[in-house]
Structure 1
Amino acid sequence: MPYVGEKCGIAAYIGDNAVEKVYLSLIALQHRGQESAGIVAWKNERFIEYKTHGLVQNVLRYIGKEKDGASPAIGHVRYSTYGGSSRVFIQPVRAKYRDLELYLAHNGTIPNAYFYRGDLASYGVRTVFDLDSGILAGYLAYSIWEYGLREAINSIFERFKASYAFIALIDGGDVLAAKDPYGIRPLSIAISNENDIAISSESCAFNAIMGKDQFYRELLPKESILIEHSGKVKILSEGNKDSERICVFEYVYFARPDSVISGVNVYRARVHMGEILAEEELRRFKRPLADLVIPVPDSGRAAAKGFSSCLGIRMEEGLIKNRYLGRTFILPDDSLRKVSVRLKLSPIEDVVKGRKIYLVDDSLVRGNTMKEIVKMLFDAGAEEVHVRIASPPIRNPCYFGIDFPTHEELIAYRKSLEEIRDAIGATSLYYLSIEGLKKALGKEEVCSGCFTGIYPIEVTEHGEIKIPRYRKRR
């Protein structure tokens, strides 16, 4: 069985109606994963588990009256970046060592996790060893039992540098939440006026379950928080804002527009990316090359708004989206992505016919979707299609949780701008510069390895991190 890593959404709730609140949180995080969903809750000194393939709504058929009075609860939505969609990989993932049992929901990918599975298995840890999240859960269970909670979390920070934001539900009903030392993946906590507590990958979930009356903040890199079953909150490690290297692709594509990540509103950041893309366009050509801006829905809409506003060119919806299909980027198989494009998007001929079009999207990863869209627009009568991408060329793999783990699948790898343009069939093609992207975010210190090849920590060409192996104390 292949080693598996993943990029997902996680949530927790401590308070009344915890299962329902986690369910609603996962609905708000559905954009982060559509392959499977899972909820685990604590009631009457035991765990209650609900897991299913597909969308979060599929979990409803398994939730019965036993949910009443259950608290805390944690949940997870998943799409895989490695491996298949076997039920064994549905999170939260279980781990047990001696008499300590826990469930863990993880967002990210840990390249060096497999270094530890042999040792953990030999110690008698039970978990899913073909899943990086399972190894993390197993290591946590083992370390808590052997050394206590504080030393366990410190050991995780030392051994697993990146990338993870996780929530663990521990035997007894305590909840542990933590971010890796670089804060690559987002994680936030909110407390309601009634002192109920919610944790989520993105702040968009809090408005759905708590409304506006809440105290909310983001966890810092290397911060860990324990919420005891009684509701008491303990800070186990303070965290360090200066070490933050948040994943830039959260802003570019993955996060929901109404979320705030590392203090930056995602929607505003995307609009600003489009504005700076337009400024670079005018420096390049002095005047616009097209008379209409069309966004690729939904991901390119905010950038297209900023782009059209800055250029003074009208934006129209020239592509209609079938909202009953998922996001093509996170479909697990390349052949499925290609077929789904024409099912998902359809051009409006009356809008595009005879027009010179700026086609704006947030990013260009493999190029399959863009190639099909460009062809559809030409088939619908467009005279010219000028593709503008509101992020830099993706030339390097992501080892920390986004679904492009190899160079070869990236359209920009070892290709010139002209070669990429020819591959997608566009009239012209230009990207936002890396300087423009950082200006749009107002941040210099981010993880932009997919664009620059510079990662927060040293990674080999095989995606491995060199870290000392762990040995059990005798």
Structure 2
Amino acid sequence: QSLAEEITNKDSRYLNTNSDSEVLLHYFADLLHTNNPPEDSEEFFYLLCSAVTKIFKRVKGAYSVVSIVIGKGLVVFRDPQGIRPLVKGERSNGNNGKDYIFASENTMFYSMGFKPKGTVLPGELIYVDEAGKVFSKRLVKKSFNPCIFEYVYFARPDATLNDVSVYRSRLRMGQNLADAWKEKYPNITPDIVIPAPSTANTSALSFAHELGVRYSEGLYKNTFIGRTFLMPGQAERKKSVKYKLVPQETEIRDKKVLIMDDSIVRGNTSWEIVRMLRDFGAKEVYFAVACPPVKSPCFYGVDMPTKNELIAGNMSEDEIQEYLNVDALLYQKIDDLVEAVTRKGNHHIDTPCMACLDGNYVANDIDDAKIEEMETMRVNDRNGK
């Protein structure tokens, strides 16, 4: 907000949107302005290094930037803590040269003929000029704190982020949670494990395997309904849940059913799922969650709800169990989630960003006053103010 005010008031620029990306674009353009334009790619890369270094010093938080500079080429950089993912790949273009791709996930690389070439490093700048020559330099090195919720929910299971397989990390989430279930509920064994589709499918598969019970896709997902926790209105979210999920009665009736979900944010979807299972004749309903309680909003690139809208921000686990009307509830522990993500891979992760789980905003740029300010902005944006 302070940078936006500086750009509009001091630099006399007009912002067309409330997007952080537009603010960053204007700031980047100002830093590239010079009375002595660079004459070649080497000089332009030197100018880029100076500009992006200033961005890294001034702009805190999460950003992965891919930009075209007219007449110059492709510019790519990632925030110094690597909170948001940014991967790269390359392919032969048939003219004795190479094409380059940069994206938040590598899931489309194979179909487009690109080979994965790892991760854009935190604090790294990459410049590809119009002739295809690549320049790169890591300008700043800080603690590496990638978002852990990417592995829990956002990323596709076939993605590899920060050299960690999302699919394998979710399998390990299910394994760790199954071990915790056997420790907390040694006398409770479900007849069937059903994922809340489809992000939880992988964790539910390994969870069921560890418990030695049957895995079933007992909830059919309507793929034409979007992700409900990102929808702005409560009524819209509740209605969408009913359209989104259809129970299969033969998999539910007269059974002790354990539902596995990737996370519980507001609790609307979870409450509706439990009600559906009860309506379709489940004998008992248990709930296991691959992610620890989501207690704080995210301010690093995700329009996650305000704290008052987060069920775990206002209720204890016992209260959540009562609200959901389940016979047993188990959340993943933070240490077990971190272990699941970091167990394998040449990732060099220091500590994942888990601000939504532990309230620790890793860029050290968020305090109570800032939280109140940004939550007010979010509410006003939703209400059209």
TM-score norm. by structure 1 comes to: 0.71
**Aligned-partner Cα distance in 2 for 1:328–1:334:** 10
**Aligned-partner Cα distance in 1 for 2:187–2:302:** 36
Larger strand proportion, structure 1 or 2? 1
C-alpha spacing 1:292/1:312, structure 2 compared with 1 (3 Å): same
1:123 aligns with 2:11: yes
Q: Counterpart of 1:73?
A: none
C-alpha spacing 1:344/1:405, structure 2 compared with 1 (3 Å): closer
* Residue of 108, 111, 129 corresponding to 1:228: 129
* Residue of 206, 210, 219 corresponding to 2:109: 206
Partner SS for 2:217: coil
Asked if 2 retains the 8 angstrom alpha-carbon contact of 1:126 and 1:138, the reply is: no
Asked if 2 retains the 8 angstrom alpha-carbon contact of 1:220 and 1:239, the reply is: no
1:456 aligns with 2:349: no
C-alpha spacing 1:464/1:337, structure 2 compared with 1 (3 Å): closer
Partner SS for 1:185: coil
Number of residue pairs matched by the alignment? 349
The Cα offsets for residues 153-198 of structure 1, whole Å up to 9 and x where unpaired, read as 1111001121100111112151111111110000011111331111
**Aligned-partner Cα distance in 2 for 1:333–1:173:** 43
**Aligned-partner Cα distance in 2 for 1:309–1:444:** 31
Q: Counterpart of 1:277?
A: 177
1:388 aligns with 2:288: yes
Q: CA deviation at 1:424?
A: 1.8
Asked if 1 retains the 8 angstrom alpha-carbon contact of 2:167 and 2:202, the reply is: yes
* Residue of 406, 421, 424 corresponding to 2:324: 424
Partner SS for 2:313: coil
Which runs of 5 or more structure 1 residues have no equivalent in the other structure?
Answer: 1-113, 466-474
C-alpha spacing 1:444/1:243, structure 2 compared with 1 (3 Å): closer
**C-alpha root-mean-square deviation of aligned residues, in Å?**
1.8
* Residue of 33, 50, 53 corresponding to 1:151: 50
C-alpha spacing 1:233/1:261, structure 2 compared with 1 (3 Å): same
C-alpha spacing 1:444/1:294, structure 2 compared with 1 (3 Å): farther
1:180 aligns with 2:75: no
1:326 aligns with 2:226: yes
Partner SS for 2:258: strand
TM-score norm. by structure 2 comes to: 0.87
Range moving further from structure 2, 367-376 or 139-148? 139-148
Q: Counterpart of 1:294?
A: 194
- The one-letter code of the counterpart of 1:461 is D
Which runs of 5 or more structure 2 residues have no equivalent in the other structure?
Answer: 36-46, 343-348, 373-385
**Aligned-partner Cα distance in 2 for 1:398–1:215:** 29
Asked if 2 retains the 8 angstrom alpha-carbon contact of 1:288 and 1:311, the reply is: no
**Aligned-partner Cα distance in 2 for 1:339–1:406:** 21
**Aligned-partner Cα distance in 1 for 2:264–2:24:** 32
The Cα offsets for residues 353-375 of structure 1, whole Å up to 9 and x where unpaired, read as 00001100110001001100110
**Aligned-partner Cα distance in 2 for 1:456–1:230:** 38
Asked if 2 retains the 8 angstrom alpha-carbon contact of 1:319 and 1:346, the reply is: yes
**Aligned-partner Cα distance in 2 for 1:255–1:365:** 17
Partner SS for 2:53: helix
For residues 336-351 of structure 1, the aligned pairs below 5 Å read 336-351=236-251
For residues 308-323 of structure 1, the aligned pairs below 5 Å read 308-323=208-223
Asked if 1 retains the 8 angstrom alpha-carbon contact of 2:126 and 2:136, the reply is: yes
Larger helix proportion, structure 1 or 2? 2
**Aligned-partner Cα distance in 2 for 1:218–1:418:** 41
